[in-house]
A and B are shown apart, each in its own frame.
Chain A
Amino acid sequence: MSEMTEPTTEFEPRITAFVCNWCTYTGADMAGTSRMQMASNVRIIRLPCTGRIDALFIIKAFERGADGVIVSGCHPADCHYTAGNYHARRRFIVFRELLSFMGISNERVIFSWVSAGEGAKWREVVNETVERVRALGPFTAYHELASRQMVGGAYETEVELPDVREAPAEAGGAS
């Protein structure tokens, strides 16, 4: 956090949301148009369709230290592209089990169908996810795996890496 703001004592989760353009993104817009107040921890990445969401996106988000991930798209039968959400659903049926088996709690990956008219549901998804992840605490374990390797692990050169986690706030110091 910047020098100008008090360091917050409570953990603020960082949540990345991958949403489809036609339903959930529009639903989130609708929440805005209706001035529904919600937690500000979620950052949206807009995609055409949940069918476009590769498991790699979620892996990368966790790798980078996201505390939670939301995936959201059109309800079944409502897909703008008729079937992208069905393919996504099947993909995530498998992927969430895999994540869980790898030890990444399903509590941190939230899937939802939010239609363009469900601004209120979007707010619920956002608020509930933020609260749930806040209760779980930060998820840095994946990110920190970079310092672990068996061979010569203790000899890992500790390059002093710039801690850019502070960078956005620093850049936003003007606020």
Chain B
Amino acid sequence: MSAYAFITAEKLAELVADLMESGTRVIAPITTAEGRATYSAIEDLSEATFNQGLPMPSLKGHFLPPNEALLSWRQRGGDIELKPASTQFAPQLVLGARPCDVEALQVVDAVMNWDYHDDLWNGRRAASTIFAMTCAGVDDSCFCTAVGSAPDSARGADALLTELPGGYLIEFTSEKGEAFLGEHGRYFDTASDEAVAAADSLRAETRTRIEQNLVVDTARIGRWIDGHFDDDFWPTLGPRCNGCGACASVCPTCHCFDINDEQTGVGTGVRRRNWDSCQAKKFTVHASGHNPRGDQDARYRQRIAHKFYIYPSKFGDVLCTGCGRCVRACPSNQDLVEILQTIDGLAAVEEGGAA
């Protein structure tokens, strides 16, 4: 299921304008006045800055906001009145997201629909159409290809755009995408073979470039972690870690949150969920005061183990799409690229395979 089309920059601008006219919100990477790249709602396509700087944080916040009200309550006499948050969302189009960010949504879908179906997450997912854009790569901390993704992956997206002279080659990759094409066909031209070929060569070139950053066997890494809970390797990472949540907040796949009640007055309040991080000391503290992850050695191990062993064991995908944001954001320069390389090397030695 794959349909190519071509859209000129002008037509894309028109499309965006018309969508907004009809009440669709459009999210795209922008560059703020301070010069930071970030994903934001736009009012005109000219605000969008595709492939210019890696948006911080990832796209995640548009599906799992840093804080989200779940319900409000009000106590009257002996009764407590609850008002849950609405799970109905207006349609939105995410345009030009990095494939690593888009794939992350699909990876996280699994946990959001496992034992509990998260209506807020699902509501936003259902209301969204996502057009990823072939990534030109950022720097040597990109490693999507090492964890099963790619700069041109369309996984999780309804379409993949590739920027070409004069416009974009667009490949519709889902039913929702094809329906979109059906509905908005008038903006699109047929893709020429040259355009498809040009895009293919561009995509191949980027893939090759990113592959040079890191090549590991994630399955082997998972096996090694499984057998090395108490390995001496972990305490080489813990001491450096500050125990902040910078990595988790910028990560497209980290999805932990904390639920917290806030009083707004006598007998009234709001229950919110807020991003949380397993690197925070308080994350696992029990009511008794005991903390099963007593120090950063244990907490950092948890981060790696969850992403590369626990999550894939349960849901198949590794909980990482190789965006490298954690590497860039870490104040102490903790380096996931290097960590994966090291574990892969250790695993190779142990399993007798090639490093």
Chain A interfacial positions (CB closer than 8 Å to B): 149-162, 164, 167
Q: Which residues of B contact A151 (CB under 8 A)?
A: 39, 57, 60-62, 65-66
CA distance A159 to B63 in the complex (A): 17
What number of B residues sit within 8 Å (CB to CB) of A?
32
Chain B interfacial positions (CB closer than 8 Å to A): 25, 38-41, 57, 60-63, 65-72, 74, 81, 83-86, 89, 120, 124, 264-266, 268, 270
CA distance A115 to B67 in the complex (A): 45
Q: Which residues of A contact B62 (CB under 8 A)?
A: 151-152, 155
How many A-B residue pairs have C-beta atoms within 8 angstroms? Tell me: 62
How many whole Å from B282's CB to the nearest CB in chain A?
Answer: 19
CA distance A150 to B57 in the complex (A): 10
Q: Is the CB–CB distance between B71 and A159 below 8 Å? A: yes
Q: Is the CB–CB distance between B38 and A157 below 8 Å? A: no
Q: DSSP majority for the A interface?
A: loop
CA distance A159 to B68 in the complex (A): 10
Q: Is the CB–CB distance between A157 and B68 below 8 Å? A: yes
Q: Is the CB–CB distance between A157 and B270 below 8 Å? A: no
Q: Which 3 A-B pairs have the closest CB atoms?
A: A151-B61, A152-B65, A159-B69
Q: A149-B67, A150-B38 are in contact. Are A160 and B83 (CB under 8 A)?
A: yes
Q: Is the CB–CB distance between A157 and B69 below 8 Å? A: yes
Contact among B60, B85, B89, B268 with A162 in the assembled complex (CB-CB below 8 Å): B268
How many whole Å from B75's CB to the nearest CB in chain A?
Answer: 10
Q: Which residues of A contact B89 (CB under 8 A)?
A: 155
Q: A150-B38, A161-B264, A161-B270 are in contact. Are A156 and B83 (CB under 8 A)?
A: no
A-B contact pairs, 30 of them (CB 8 A): A149-B65, A149-B66, A150-B40, A150-B61, A151-B57, A151-B60, A151-B61, A151-B65, A151-B66, A152-B63, A152-B66, A154-B41, A155-B62, A155-B89, A156-B69, A157-B68, A157-B85, A158-B86, A159-B72, A159-B85, A159-B270, A161-B72, A161-B268, A161-B270, A162-B81, A164-B74, A164-B264, A164-B266, A167-B265, A167-B266
Q: A150-B38, A155-B89 are in contact. Are A162 and B74 (CB under 8 A)?
A: yes
Q: Which residues of A contact B268 (CB under 8 A)?
A: 161-162, 164, 167
Q: Is the CB–CB distance between B65 and A155 below 8 Å? A: yes
Q: Which residues of A contact B72 (CB under 8 A)?
A: 159-162
CA distance A41 to B71 in the complex (A): 32
Given contact pairs A154-B25, A162-B74, enumerate 15 new A-B contacts (beta carbons under 8 Å): A150-B61, A151-B39, A151-B62, A151-B65, A152-B66, A153-B65, A156-B69, A159-B70, A159-B71, A159-B83, A159-B85, A162-B72, A162-B268, A164-B264, A164-B265
Q: Which residues of A contact B68 (CB under 8 A)?
A: 156-157
How many whole Å from A14's CB to the nearest CB in chain B?
Answer: 13
Closest to B89 in A: A155
Closest to A160 in B: B83
Closest to B263 in A: A64
Q: Which residues of A contact B57 (CB under 8 A)?
A: 151
Closest to A171 in B: B266
Q: Which residues of A contact B83 (CB under 8 A)?
A: 159-160, 162
CA distance A78 to B72 in the complex (A): 47
Q: Is the CB–CB distance between A157 and B120 below 8 Å? A: yes
Q: Which residues of A contact B70 (CB under 8 A)?
A: 159
CA distance A164 to B263 in the complex (A): 12
CA distance A157 to B86 in the complex (A): 7
Q: Which residues of B contact A152 (CB under 8 A)?
A: 61-63, 65-66
Contact among A149, A155, A160, A162 with B124 in the assembled complex (CB-CB below 8 Å): A155
CA distance A158 to B90 in the complex (A): 13
Q: Which residues of B contact A159 (CB under 8 A)?
A: 69-72, 83-86, 270
How many whole Å from B32's CB to the nearest CB in chain A?
Answer: 9
How many whole Å from A149's CB to the nearest CB in chain B?
Answer: 6
CA distance A153 to B266 in the complex (A): 27
How many whole Å from A146's CB to the nearest CB in chain B?
Answer: 9
How many whole Å from A143's CB to the nearest CB in chain B?
Answer: 10
How many whole Å from A161's CB to the nearest CB in chain B?
Answer: 5
CA distance A151 to B41 in the complex (A): 10
